[in-house]
């Protein structure tokens, strides 16, 4: 019983930590994108974060930087990556 509580509590805590840090992680990714590929003219954002007990769901969005030309996406276009992050102590087989 105690193991189940620790297991579930660990998964909940890890998901809570991710929720609090996702904005900083995206900001760091954008800084790295600007420094390593400034000509890309792209930026990353996230939307629709949904924290669950053993996994969380979010959408990462790649879009052009407003007012900056790029060869990847036209103004108003974006690429949406639908992501599931497992944060249990051990990943369950899917």
Read off the pLDDT of residues 19-73 as tens digits, 9 standing for 90 and up.
888 999 999 999 999 999 988 899 999 999 998 888 889 999 999 998 887 778 8
> pLDDT tens digit string along 32-47?
999 999 888 999 999 9
Question: Residue 24, Cβ neighbours under 10 Å: how many?
Answer: 9
pTM value? Answer: 0.76
Instruction: Name the phi and psi angles at 68, rounded to 5.
Output: -120, 130
């Amino acid at each position: 019983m105690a193991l189940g509580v620790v297991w579930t509590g660990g998964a909940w805590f890890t998901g809570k930590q991710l929720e609090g840090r996702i904005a900083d992680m995206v900001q760091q990714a954008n800084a790295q994108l600007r420094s390593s590929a400034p000509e890309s003219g792209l930026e990353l954002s996230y939307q629709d974060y949904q924290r669950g007990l053993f996994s969380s769901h979010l959408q990462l969005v790649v879009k052009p930087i407003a007012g900056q030309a790029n060869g990847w996406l036209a103004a108003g276009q974006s690429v949406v990556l639908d992501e599931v992050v497992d944060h249990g102590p051990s990943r369950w087989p899917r």
